[in-house]
Amino acid sequence: MAHTLSPTQEPVTISIRAKAGQRDLIDQAADRLGRSRSEFMLEAACREAEDVLLDQTYFALDAKGFSAFQAMLDTPPAPSDRLRRTMKAPVPWKPRR
C-alpha cells in the first residue's frame, strides 16, 4: 500500500515542530538508511497511517463464509522450505544471546 506521487500530484509542504533530541534521533536513523530527514519521516508517517487505517478496516461474513474463514485459520500450513526457514528465523522482539 505504498504511496507514490502520480504525475498529476504536486508535492505539498508539511511543517512540524520537534525537540532537538527528536530531530537528532530521526537524522541518525535517516542517515543509516541513506535517506534524507524528509524521506525518512514521510515514509515512517505513511507506514503508521496505513497501519492505523488497516487496523480499523471492517469486513463482514455470513455464517458460511465465516466457517470457511475459520477453517482456513485452523488448518496448518503445508510444510515447505520457506516455512521451515521462517520458523527458524530469530524473532525481532527477543534479544539474541
Residue 33 has pLDDT above 90, yes or no: yes
Q: Considering the chain, what is the average pLDDT of its residues?
A: 89
Whether the Cβ atoms of residue 83 and residue 77 lie closer than 8 Å to each other:
yes
Whether the Cβ atoms of residue 43 and residue 35 lie closer than 8 Å to each other:
yes
Residue 48 has pLDDT above 70, yes or no: yes
